[in-house]
Homo-oligomer: A and B are copies of this chain.
């Protein structure tokens, strides 16, 4: 009833090509890439073309008390963009224009549907660099990156999405359009509402434009260091060595045997024959400083017991290894539903945490592959179950819960860069005190009095 009135209003305001209501058409917008997260049936999908479309949809939803679920490319790994029953999904995919690239002011202004790699390529053409590079960068959108405060490979040196968001335009409340943040290098006029929206996973409003900070100049060429290890804990020790040595690489990625084999099976790269665990380090410091960093990385790898380590002299080979890292997730997805972890622990605890992940896999008789932004302490154990095996799913869930508990016990967090969405809500409640969760509820009610924006996500009851 509420639904049909809201639908009529949406139809009158936005018209058919923008509004999808046929279940076959809306299904594709109901789920992100978190295969394990539940999802509901949307009432409709609004394929927004403009801020005005978003504002109209939000106004109508607020009037009728209909939930609003914003969505980019749907590459999220926590279910944050999953539909709830009877909601209106607002797809921002079509709002994909780069509005401004301004190297002098070191900023770009984009619509939320711009794909990360497209922005980075456009900046490169103008002699500037947008660093955040999630593994999903060929597909994920800046709006989605903002919603989850996405990280990536170079974040170990250059920081995460929040460090690059200067301002947003957003539709809030019952359809008001606001500008938060700034275009200047600094600014402290009022609360950092822009920063608050980054990582809020669509629970406070719908971001319709993003102003990001750029670094001037092209990115410096990188040197690559490769290390092979016999065990996860040896590789973890190498990571801890790097932190203790005070070296800040421009990448420090880990792939284990499961990942290497999955990539080999798919792309025939011949990686798994060579190493049990692969560490990929990079330095982009120019000149002598870069040489010293490479030497230091090699020394850290060797001291941890690398079976082989070397500076890559072949740029194509180095790029292929990083391409393998990027392909690891889709390669593993081919084997069965993947339950993705995203814990982040203090750097010194990386070996201990990797050991606990192995123990959890054994304890629960489940297969866990490890990819990691190891230099950040941000680990992605990926729990793989054979399709349709319910007992395996239960064991996987038990391993997942253990890993979350271990990360918290080691002073870590349940999510480093993927967001809480639906899958990490239990973890969030374990990580944050009830008073802090209460602050979340109070803040959400203050900024979303109609309670329409992505309800139940992040800090809702699991």
Q: Residues on A close to B: CB < 8 A?
A: 103-106, 127-128, 148-149, 151, 155-156, 159-160, 162-163, 172-173, 176, 178-180, 182-193, 195-196, 198-200, 215-217, 240, 243-244, 246-248, 285-289, 344-348, 373, 376-378, 411-420, 424, 427-428, 431-433, 435-437, 439-440, 442-443, 445-447, 449, 458-459
Known contacts A104-B347, A346-B105; A184 and B414 CB within 8 A of each other? no
Contact between chains at B178 and A378 (CB < 8 Å): no
Q: Identify the closest chain B residue to A449 (Cβ).
A: B442
Counted per complex, copies of this chain come to 2
A76 and B346 alpha carbons, distance in the complex (Å): 34
Contact between chains at A103 and B246 (CB < 8 Å): yes
Q: Identify the closest chain B residue to A441 (Cβ).
A: B446
Q: How far is the CB of A13 from chain B (nearest CB, A)?
A: 21
Contact between chains at A189 and B424 (CB < 8 Å): yes
Interface centre among A155, A188, A217 (most CB of B within 10 A): A188
Contact between chains at B179 and A436 (CB < 8 Å): yes
Q: How far is the CB of A435 from chain B (nearest CB, A)?
A: 5
Q: List 19 A-B contacts (CB under 8 A).
A: A104-B347, A105-B243, A105-B347, A106-B243, A162-B192, A172-B439, A176-B435, A183-B346, A183-B411, A184-B411, A189-B413, A191-B199, A192-B196, A192-B199, A193-B440, A195-B196, A217-B246, A287-B289, A442-B449
Contact between chains at A187 and B127 (CB < 8 Å): no
Top 5 nearest A-B pairs (CB, nearest first) are A216-B246, A446-B446, A442-B446, A187-B413, A186-B416
Known contacts A178-B433, A433-B178, A447-B439; A188 and B415 CB within 8 A of each other? yes
Q: How far is the CB of A191 from chain B (nearest CB, A)?
A: 6
Known contacts A346-B184, A446-B442; A414 and B189 CB within 8 A of each other? yes
8 Å CB contact of A184 from B176, B199, B412: B412
Q: How far is the CB of A247 from chain B (nearest CB, A)?
A: 7
Interface centre among A173, A178, A191, A200 (most CB of B within 10 A): A191
Contact between chains at A377 and B185 (CB < 8 Å): yes
Residues from chain B with a CB closer than 8 A to the CB of A159 are 163
Contact between chains at B436 and A193 (CB < 8 Å): yes
8 Å CB contact of A420 from B189, B215, B428: B189
8 Å CB contact of A180 from B180, B191, B373, B436: B436
Known contacts A104-B348, A192-B162, A287-B286; A246 and B184 CB within 8 A of each other? no
Residues from chain B with a CB closer than 8 A to the CB of A217 are 246
Q: Identify the closest chain B residue to A162 (Cβ).
A: B192
Q: How far is the CB of A379 from chain B (nearest CB, A)?
A: 11
A176 and B188 alpha carbons, distance in the complex (Å): 27
A163 and B213 alpha carbons, distance in the complex (Å): 13
Contact between chains at B184 and A192 (CB < 8 Å): no
Known contacts A216-B248, A217-B246, A287-B287; A199 and B188 CB within 8 A of each other? yes
Contact between chains at B447 and A443 (CB < 8 Å): yes
8 Å CB contact of A416 from B180, B184, B435: B184
Q: How far is the CB of A248 from chain B (nearest CB, A)?
A: 6
Contact between chains at B188 and A149 (CB < 8 Å): yes
Seed contacts A184-B344, A187-B416, A188-B415; 16 additional CB < 8 Å A-B pairs: A128-B246, A162-B195, A184-B413, A186-B344, A186-B413, A186-B416, A187-B344, A187-B413, A189-B431, A190-B436, A192-B196, A193-B439, A195-B196, A285-B286, A445-B446, A446-B446
A127 and B245 alpha carbons, distance in the complex (Å): 11
A156 and B240 alpha carbons, distance in the complex (Å): 31
Residues from chain B with a CB closer than 8 A to the CB of A432 are 189-190
Q: How far is the CB of A304 from chain B (nearest CB, A)?
A: 15
Residues from chain B with a CB closer than 8 A to the CB of A127 are 246
Residues from chain B with a CB closer than 8 A to the CB of A128 are 246
Known contacts A195-B162, A420-B190; A413 and B182 CB within 8 A of each other? yes
Residues from chain B with a CB closer than 8 A to the CB of A178 are 433, 435-436, 439
Q: Identify the closest chain B residue to A193 (Cβ).
A: B439
Q: How far is the CB of A425 from chain B (nearest CB, A)?
A: 10
Q: How far is the CB of A243 from chain B (nearest CB, A)?
A: 5
Residues from chain B with a CB closer than 8 A to the CB of A445 are 446
Known contacts A104-B348, A348-B104; A440 and B191 CB within 8 A of each other? yes
